[in-house]
C-alpha cells in the first residue's frame, strides 16, 4: 500500500485514539466509583486496540482484538507484583498506563474494550456513500491509437461528391 494511502487510513485511527484518551482522562479525573473504574478500563482497552491498529494497519481485527486484550491482561496481572505501583509512585502519570492494584473484574472490562475497539475500527473503515452520478465513458488506454477527426471531405460534403448526390450515406471511419 502506498505511504499516502496508509497515512489517510491512519488519520481516523489517530483521531479516535485522541478522543478515547480525552474521554479516559475525563473519566479518571471526574468520575469515581465502580462504574467510573469500569468505564476507564474499557476505554483503556479501546485505546490499546487503536494504537495497535495504527501501528500495524494491515492486520486483521480479530488478531488486533486478541493482542489488545492480551496486553491489557499482562499489564493487569503485573500489578500483582507491586512493580507498577512502585513506578507510579516515582512518576504519577504511569498510574494511568500501568495501574496500581490488581482487580480480576478489570479483565472483563478489557475484553469488552478490545471488542469495542474492533467495532470502532470497523466503523472507521467504512466509506461514506458516494452520490450517484451518470457514468462517464471509459477512457482509451494511452497506447491505443485515437481515431482521426472527421473532415468535410470524409463526410462527403465536398462539392460534386457522387455519393452525396445519390442520397447514400458515406461510410464512416472507425
Q: Where are the domains of the chain?
A: 3-125
To the nearest whole number, what is the mean pLDDT of the chain? 83
pTM listed for this prediction: 0.69
Which among 127, 126, 124 has a CA at the least distance from the CA of 50? 124
More confident of the two residues 121 and 145 = 121
pLDDT at 107: 97
pLDDT in tens, 65-124: 999 999 999 999 999 999 999 999 999 989 889 988 999 999 999 999 999 999 999 999
3-state secondary structure 79-121: HHHCHHHHHHHHCCCHHHHHCCCCCCHHHHHHHHHHHHHHHHH
pLDDT at 72: 97
Which among 26, 39, 50 has a CA at the least distance from the CA of 109? 39
pLDDT at 46: 98
10: exposed, middle or buried (Cβ count in 10 Å: 0-12, 13-18, 19+):
middle
pLDDT at 154: 59
Helix axes 34-55, 3-30, angle to 10 degrees: 170
Query: If you average pLDDT over residues 25-39, what whole number do you get?
Result: 92
Taking a C-beta distance cutoff of 8 angstroms, is the pair 158, 152 a contact?
Answer: yes
462504574: which residue's cell? 35
Query: Could you give the C-alpha distances from 134 to 128, 131, 137, 154, in angstroms and in order?
Result: 18, 10, 9, 32
Taking a C-beta distance cutoff of 8 angstroms, is the pair 38, 105 a contact?
Answer: yes
Q: Which three cell numbers stand for residue 77?
A: 496481572
474492533: which residue's cell? 118
pLDDT at 127: 66
Amino acid at each position: 500500500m502506498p505511504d499516502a494511502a496508509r497515512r489517510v487510513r491512519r488519520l481516523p485511527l489517530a483521531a479516535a485514539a485522541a478522543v478515547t484518551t480525552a474521554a479516559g482522562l475525563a473519566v479518571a479525573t471526574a468520575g469515581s466509583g465502580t462504574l467510573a473504574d469500569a468505564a476507564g478500563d474499557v476505554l483503556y482497552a479501546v485505546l490499546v486496540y487503536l494504537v495497535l491498529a495504527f501501528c500495524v494497519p494491515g492486520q486483521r481485527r480479530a488478531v488486533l482484538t486478541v493482542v489488545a486484550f492480551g496486553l491489557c491482561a499482562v499489564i493487569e496481572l503485573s500489578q500483582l507484583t507491586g512493580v507498577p505501583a512502585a513506578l507510579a509512585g516515582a512518576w504519577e502519570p504511569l498510574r494511568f498506563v500501568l495501574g496500581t492494584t490488581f482487580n480480576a473484574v478489570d479483565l472483563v472490562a478489557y475484553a469488552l474494550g478490545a471488542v469495542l475497539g474492533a467495532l470502532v475500527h470497523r466503523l472507521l473503515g467504512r466509506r461514506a456513500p458516494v452520490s450517484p452520478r451518470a457514468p462517464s465513458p471509459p477512457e482509451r488506454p494511452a497506447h491505443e491509437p485515437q481515431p482521426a477527426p472527421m473532415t468535410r471531405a470524409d463526410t462527403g460534403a465536398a462539392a460534386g461528391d457522387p455519393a452525396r448526390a445519390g442520397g447514400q450515406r458515406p461510410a464512416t471511419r472507425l
